[in-house]
Amino acid sequence: MSNPFENASERLSALIERASGLLEDIEDTPSATRRAVGAGTVEAEPLRLLREAIELNRAQLEAFREYSRRYDDELAEQRRNAAVQAEQSRKVNILSLAIAALSLVFAIAAVLAPYIWPQP
């Protein structure tokens, strides 16, 4: 069963992967100035910051996925516990109803007993 959080996290993962690919393309492409003078690629500070932000987002996404899994597990356990409690409550209610019905039968029998079995 897929929930909205998993769908959103999958979309975010895809976007992060796409951004990583674009970042690698940018890093591998030398600037026009560097190409003109025959130098290598440029490692710009904004690109480093972008890479760090992407890594941080990946870590946050993984932490969110783990939190979501734990939350789903805890919720499933709470539902199981609630089902067990509901079943126990149903059994207690049936037993209470049976005792009440038996008490009513005895009360009616006690009221009708002098008429059914007269005393000498």
Domain annotation covers residue 59:
yes
Band the pLDDT of 71: cuts 50, 70, 90: very high
Domain annotation covers residue 77:
yes
Q: Tens of pLDDT along 77-88?
A: 999 999 999 999
Check: CB of residue 9 under 8 Å from CB of residue 64.
Answer: yes
pLDDT for 44: 67
In the chain, how many domains are there? Answer: 1
Domain annotation covers residue 50:
yes
Domain annotation covers residue 26:
yes
Residue 112 to residues 29, 104, 115, 117: CA-CA distances in angstroms? 103, 12, 5, 9
- Give 19 or 75, the one with higher predicted confidence: 75
Domain annotation covers residue 63:
yes
Mean of per-residue pLDDT scores for the chain? 82
Band the pLDDT of 116: cuts 50, 70, 90: confident
Q: Tens of pLDDT along 87-109?
A: 999 999 999 999 999 999 999 99
Domain annotation covers residue 119:
no
Q: Tens of pLDDT along 21-40?
A: 776 666 556 555 555 555 44
pLDDT surpasses 50 at 66: yes
- Owning domain of residue 56: 4-86
CB atoms within 10 A of CB 36: 9
Domain annotation covers residue 35:
yes
